[in-house]
Structure 1
Amino acid sequence: MIQRMSKYSFVIYHREYEEFLLALRDLGVVHITERNNPKEVDHLKAMLDRRANLVALRRTLADYLPEDMPEPKPLPTISEEAGEAAVQQLEHDLAQRSKTLSSIQLKRQEIAEQEIWGDFDPAQIERLGEAGYRLAFYTMPATAFTEDYQAEYDAIAIARNGASQYFVRLEQAGTSPAPDAEAIKPPTHSLTDLHNDLAMLEQRLEAESEALRATALDRLIELKAYDKLIDDDYMLGAARLQAVGQADDKLMLLEGWVPAEGAEAMEQALAQTGYYYQQVEIVDEDKIPILLKNNFFARLFEPITSMFSLPNYSEIDQTALFAPFFLLFFGLCFGDGGYGLLVFVLATIYRIKTKDGKDMARLLQWLGGGACVIGLLMGTFFGVTLGYAKAEDYFLNQDNLMKLSVVLGLIQIFFAKGVAAYKIKVQRGVKYSLAPFAWIAMLLGLGAMILLPRLELELPAFVPYIIYGIVGVSALVAFFYNMPGKNPFLNFGSALWTAYNMASGLLGDTLSYIRLFAIGLTGGILGGVFNQLAVEQTEGLPWLVRVPMMLLILLVGHGLNISLAMISSFVHPLRLTFVEFYKNSEFEGGGKAYQPLKK
């Protein structure tokens, strides 16, 4: 449900404008109408950049936080100077650690290059140079390094690495370099010294990491408090831009929105301060902020609504309307009671242990619990087909599941068309909604005329005539009153076009729901395949070997299957919701979230 909003105008003396904004921020209920984009103002854009940097730092800092986080406490008040100092110190510590890590990587690369030559003292090479000799280091293709080459050029083989041969020569001053070979710069440190340097760098890295771990929690609190400070300053700075100067800018005119249920409290609070306000009439051009208010179940699905778009103020919040379908479709796509039970258990554990994200944990509990129930009805539990599901006449066998998917699709599509008709009634009036409702009644009546004879039900003789009457009246309304006040021929032409679109669209939309049957069936079959592999591929092995191998196959196989099932069970219900349901319910969207000025 979309909460009703009240629109207010505020007139403030320019010298009191800052004080007035602080008063509004303390109230925390007024969504200020945005006339100017704060992202186009340099100092406000800089605030957003600083917040983005804080998010990146907190993400990096997460690697150093303790596993058992303490209960969150109210954030302390922090000044901008203290916040910047905390950021700079953390950036310095992270940069220092990154520098040490780079030095370790370079040192390891240097060791890998020198290990080919072995461990020796470079001072000996210097003494050879003082005596007039030079120990030259070379590499060349191993195929060219023959015995004749070694004998002719006094080449001493050191090591072979893949297709390359490494060798040395003792050369006097003026001696020509070894032909067909690439000279390599002689090492300047012994392998022992390099390993010692590496050990020192690794000790330094561990000390720097330990220092970060020791201060990570305090740094995180400082970053959160600083982020809160910047957010408050940004909200206040953005609010300053939205007023329109009046009377040579002596007066500031500001517009805002307040939820209708909280408007009276806001008026009483402002009445005590002496600021002028007036509730004004909402016009069609207004971009009214959207605040959703749903029951405990539908509220869990509001993030799914926000993923696509919030509804605009003139239409219906469809969160509570698609939520039961989404839960059902998720369970059908999951297709296994054991997998659903696992999701429910893990979500419950996460909800108990987590400090944040409890709403997501509750949603996963509902989805996992629903998948468990539906999976048991489908007759699979961790890939094992349950006994009652093996009967040929079981009501949820494969044939019936496909029919069920199509029926569910038709139910949701017709329900969506009913929502669209009701929305037209609310937005434009009853007479404009008669044709949409007539189309639904006509299609349902035609369906009843086709299905009832096949069901062989004993119905009173007058029932078919009632259905014929409903279909006839609905056809007249749908074909000749779909555009009230227009020419009947124009109505008829429009109805023919609507009939064509509805026939083609209804078929395509309904077939989309077969994916529920296909995906759920695939998940159950794959689970059974992994069970079969675990048994058959380890058959004949000793029990001490067979049991670990079976567990490994089951763990990897079912883990992969659950991962695929989770992705499919979210993606395809989302598609059916955002494409089929939203299209048939004529969802418009485009709403902007209600964001009051507050701390």
Structure 2
Amino acid sequence: MKKLSLLVHANDRSQVLEDLQRLGVVHVEFGKDQQRLEILVFKEKITKLEKTHQFLTTLAASEKTVFHQETYPDDLDVLYDEIEKMRVEVDDLRSQGVHLAKELESQNVWGFYDAQKAEALNAAGIKLRFGKAPAKLFEALDPQEPFVEVAKDGSSVLYVYLQDSKKESAELPGQEIFLSAGSDQLQQKLLDIDAEIKKREKFLLGYCRYIDGLSDGIADLKDRLSYSFANYSLTETAGGQVLILQGWYPEVEEARVREFLDSSRAAYLLEEPKGEEQPPIALKNGRLARLFEPITKVYSLPNYHEIDTTAFLAPFFALFVGLCLADVGYGTLMLAVTIPAFFLLKGEGRRLAGLGIVLSVMTIAGGLLLGDIFGIETFKEGVPNQLYPSLLRPLALFPTMADAMALPILLGFVQVFLGHILRMVNGFRRDGVQGGLKPIGTALLVITVGFLLLEYNFFGPFAKVMVGPIPVGPLVSSIPYVSTVTIVLGVLGAVLVLLFNGVEHHLKFYIRPAMGLWELYEFISQILGDILSYLRLFALGLAGGLLAESFNSIGIMVLGNGHNPLMWVFLIVVLLIGHGINLGLALIASFVHPVRLTFVEFYKAIGFKGGGVSYSPFQTQLKSNNH
């Protein structure tokens, strides 16, 4: 990125801003004055129209009809008001319909109630009164009294009392119930409400022909909002006659920017970023790594002076998710969902589906490595080849619990070591050679800790330590004078930490050793905890596998000897519900914990600061626009 400073005469304010917006490559540094009434009005209008656009788009999609698009003849605010009024009416009618439906359902226990006939009986001297009383109370009533049992509702009795219209009304036993209208009247009201809802829905469907016009209107408002931000970001000087605007642009666009500037009436200055200035960030990754950019953005974009971590966290994150789920069956189900989604969705949804495909493949790979399919441990003797071909069994490279535990620890050492290497690169870029020496020292200490754990048989006999097929112990033990090498690496690492910490803060050389002692204490006290926290990958994979195996066992218990066909149905239901619950829980955990390891352990090793602002050029979304 390069910095652009513009000096604009007050009379050229509008023209320069409009031309700059049409150029569409400069990220303008907006000022803090963003609470102007004009800006707030634009924001409110955009929010309202986006809500309307989303509603109409969903409505059109539900009808599966292509609507001929037209331009709305009036202000879009009028369109919003008309649609909102209609939606409120529809919601109100639906609420009335629900209330009437409940009333009719509660009235149906009395049979078909004809209000006109009830009025005729009343005129003839018989008044119908309805009640509900406990069964014991009803049974104790005088049988000579004109009580007629209609139905039983649990421990209560619904009844009708035939009262002489000329007599004064007496209190009924239990609770008296009043029927507001006849069954036919309620049914007719429901039909009328349904007709009114359909009438209004038809009107709403008619508005779908304005979806494209609504999109253009929203884009125009966003252009105006962006213009207002830039306009109020101009700093006045020389008594308001000269205005200053600052922004950033990618170096690859320099030719276009210079051409624009040379043809404009503004004075300008182009500069490289200085010191602690923070230009905006435009991530540049390959097609595969780009899928993981949403993960990077969950925490924060790197600042301009840091390495983009996306390509480095991507393989670890995918592998961590694969180890957390680690089931061929679950991965296949995920793949069956994400592949169609990739082709059906567009934009950000399609990119997320692409990420889902990668994670599904890694889940299958994790299941193959650990030998697991729907909770069945395929490396066990007796698993039939029809269920899991013997050809795939050799792919279970980490079948034992010891192997499954050792793999995350190895990955933890590798990722933390990589983090310190990236920190070294950041240090070299920011502060020169001295800036990278302390991270080198820390990286050497990470290696030292790993070697010491092996040499002191923390993982078993030194020369025989294997992580699945990976000969970690034999490789390290084959290093000549490995004990001496370990001591040299540790001493060299400690010296670099003591002498070159705090370079980024410009600490005096004689202060650094004291600060370095604290750095060493923090490293020694935290490194094992950081590495062992990667065991959560093993724990989650183990928990998911045990739950899946438990549901399989429950299903087999339900099936019994298999002679009853109905039990096969129950077996399928148990497996579907059980594995569905397990997969849902595993999906949540397999996102949360790899994210935690990435943003806590890995980013701590990198010394990640973040705080980057995404590159958002000042540009138009419509080909023509009037401010």
Question: What range is the shorter-chain TM-score in?
Answer: 0.7 to 0.9
Say which of 472, 485, 491 aligns to 1:472.
491
Shift of 1:77: 9.6
Q: In structure 2, what residue type is equivalent to 1:94?
A: R
Q: 1:518 to 1:225 in 2, by over 3 A?
A: same
Say which of 201, 225, 231 aligns to 1:234.
225
Q: In structure 2, what residue type is equivalent to 1:238?
A: F
Say which of 584, 607, 611 aligns to 1:590.
611
In the alignment, the residues of structure 2 paired with residue 118 and residue 461 of structure 1 have an alpha-carbon distance, to the nearest angstrom, of 96
In the alignment, the residues of structure 1 paired with residue 40 and residue 534 of structure 2 have an alpha-carbon distance, to the nearest angstrom, of 45
Instruction: Give the SS at the match of 2:249.
Output: strand
User: In the alignment, which residue of structure 2 is the partner of 1:121?
Assistant: 114
Instruction: Give the SS at the match of 1:278.
Output: strand
Shift of 1:267: 1.4
Shift of 1:182: 4.8
Instruction: Encode CA deviations 1:417-443: one digit per residue, 9 max, x unaligned.
Output: 222233233223322432332232244
Alignment of 1:131-150 (within 5 A): 134-148=127-141
Say which of 186, 193, 201 aligns to 2:193.
201
Q: Percent of aligned pairs with the same residue?
A: 28
In the alignment, the residues of structure 2 paired with residue 463 and residue 139 of structure 1 have an alpha-carbon distance, to the nearest angstrom, of 90
Is 1:500 the counterpart of 2:493? The answer is: no
User: In the alignment, which residue of structure 2 is the partner of 1:445?
Assistant: 448
Q: 1:481 to 1:28 in 2, by over 3 A?
A: closer
Say which of 353, 370, 373 aligns to 1:381.
373
Shift of 1:69: 6.5
User: In the alignment, which residue of structure 2 is the partner of 1:88?
Assistant: 81
| Contact 2:413–2:446 (CA under 8 A) maintained in structure 1 | no
In the alignment, the residues of structure 2 paired with residue 346 and residue 130 of structure 1 have an alpha-carbon distance, to the nearest angstrom, of 67
| Contact 2:554–2:574 (CA under 8 A) maintained in structure 1 | yes
Q: In structure 2, what residue type is equivalent to 1:407?
A: L
Greater Cα offset, 587-596 or 265-274 = 265-274
In the alignment, the residues of structure 1 paired with residue 109 and residue 245 of structure 2 have an alpha-carbon distance, to the nearest angstrom, of 76
Shift of 1:143: 4.0
Shift of 1:181: 5.2
Is 1:569 the counterpart of 2:590? The answer is: yes
Shift of 1:573: 0.8
Instruction: Encode CA deviations 1:498-556: one digit per residue, 9 max, x unaligned.
Output: 22211222122112110111112232333334344444422334475455444333333
Instruction: Give the SS at the match of 1:168.
Output: strand
Instruction: Encode CA deviations 1:153-200: one digit per residue, 9 max, x unaligned.
Output: x5554444444644435244572531665554453x321222233234
Instruction: Give the SS at the match of 1:537.
Output: helix
Shift of 1:307: 1.0
Kindly report the root-mean-square deviation, in angstroms, between the aligned alpha carbons of the 2 structures. Answer: 3.5
Is 1:419 the counterpart of 2:410? The answer is: no
Shift of 1:481: 4.8
Alignment of 1:289-304 (within 5 A): 289-304=280-295
Q: 1:316 to 1:148 in 2, by over 3 A?
A: same
| Contact 2:444–2:493 (CA under 8 A) maintained in structure 1 | yes
Is 1:397 the counterpart of 2:390? The answer is: no
Greater Cα offset, 423-432 or 356-365 = 423-432
User: In the alignment, which residue of structure 1 is the partner of 2:47?
Assistant: 52
| Contact 2:417–2:446 (CA under 8 A) maintained in structure 1 | no
Q: In structure 1, what residue type is equivalent to 2:161?
A: V
| Contact 2:338–2:356 (CA under 8 A) maintained in structure 1 | yes
Is 1:371 the counterpart of 2:390? The answer is: no
| Contact 2:67–2:209 (CA under 8 A) maintained in structure 1 | no
Q: TM-score, length-normalised on structure 2?
A: 0.83
Alignment of 1:8-407 (within 5 A): 8-38=4-34, 40-61=35-56, 63-66=58-61, 81-127=74-120, 134-148=127-141, 151=144, 154-162=146-154, 163=156, 165-172=158-165, 175-178=168-171, 182-187=175-180, 189-206=181-198, 208-209=200-201, 212=204, 214-215=205-206, 217-280=208-271, 282-284=273-275, 286-356=277-347, 357-387=349-379, 395-407=398-410
Instruction: Give the SS at the match of 1:11.
Output: strand
| Contact 1:71–1:355 (CA under 8 A) maintained in structure 2 | no
| Contact 1:78–1:226 (CA under 8 A) maintained in structure 2 | no
Greater Cα offset, 119-128 or 480-489 = 480-489
In the alignment, the residues of structure 1 paired with residue 463 and residue 207 of structure 2 have an alpha-carbon distance, to the nearest angstrom, of 70
User: In the alignment, which residue of structure 1 is the partner of 2:470?
Assistant: none
Q: 1:63 to 1:291 in 2, by over 3 A?
A: closer
Instruction: Give the SS at the match of 2:559.
Output: coil
| Contact 1:142–1:165 (CA under 8 A) maintained in structure 2 | no
Q: In structure 1, what residue type is equivalent to 2:226?
A: M
Q: 1:486 to 1:540 in 2, by over 3 A?
A: closer
Q: Relative CO higher for 1 or 2, CA cutoff 8 Å, sep ≥ 6?
A: 1
Q: In structure 1, what residue type is equivalent to 2:184?
A: T
Greater Cα offset, 228-237 or 436-445 = 436-445
User: In the alignment, which residue of structure 1 is the partner of 2:538?
Assistant: 517
Say which of 577, 580, 585 aligns to 1:556.
577
| Contact 1:136–1:186 (CA under 8 A) maintained in structure 2 | no
| Contact 2:112–2:183 (CA under 8 A) maintained in structure 1 | yes
Q: In structure 2, what residue type is equivalent to 1:84?
A: D
In the alignment, the residues of structure 2 paired with residue 463 and residue 114 of structure 1 have an alpha-carbon distance, to the nearest angstrom, of 88
| Contact 1:31–1:597 (CA under 8 A) maintained in structure 2 | yes
Greater Cα offset, 223-232 or 203-212 = 203-212
| Contact 2:8–2:265 (CA under 8 A) maintained in structure 1 | no
Q: 1:274 to 1:543 in 2, by over 3 A?
A: farther
Q: In structure 1, what residue type is equivalent to 2:408?
A: S
| Contact 2:327–2:373 (CA under 8 A) maintained in structure 1 | yes
| Contact 2:404–2:538 (CA under 8 A) maintained in structure 1 | yes
Q: In structure 2, what residue type is equivalent to 1:522?
A: A
Shift of 1:416: 1.3
In the alignment, the residues of structure 2 paired with residue 506 and residue 289 of structure 1 have an alpha-carbon distance, to the nearest angstrom, of 34
Q: In structure 1, what residue type is equivalent to 2:92?
A: K
The count of corresponding residues between Structure 1 and Structure 2 is: 589
Q: 1:366 to 1:124 in 2, by over 3 A?
A: closer
Q: 1:511 to 1:171 in 2, by over 3 A?
A: farther
| Contact 2:26–2:618 (CA under 8 A) maintained in structure 1 | yes
In the alignment, the residues of structure 2 paired with residue 140 and residue 177 of structure 1 have an alpha-carbon distance, to the nearest angstrom, of 15
User: In the alignment, which residue of structure 1 is the partner of 2:432?
Assistant: 429
| Contact 1:150–1:156 (CA under 8 A) maintained in structure 2 | no
Greater Cα offset, 226-235 or 487-496 = 487-496
5+ unaligned residues in a row in structure 2: which ranges?
380-389, 457-461, 465-473, 622-627
Q: TM-score, length-normalised on structure 1?
A: 0.87
Q: In structure 1, what residue type is equivalent to 2:18?
A: L
Instruction: Give the SS at the match of 1:65.
Output: helix
Shift of 1:464: 4.8
In the alignment, the residues of structure 2 paired with residue 505 and residue 64 of structure 1 have an alpha-carbon distance, to the nearest angstrom, of 55
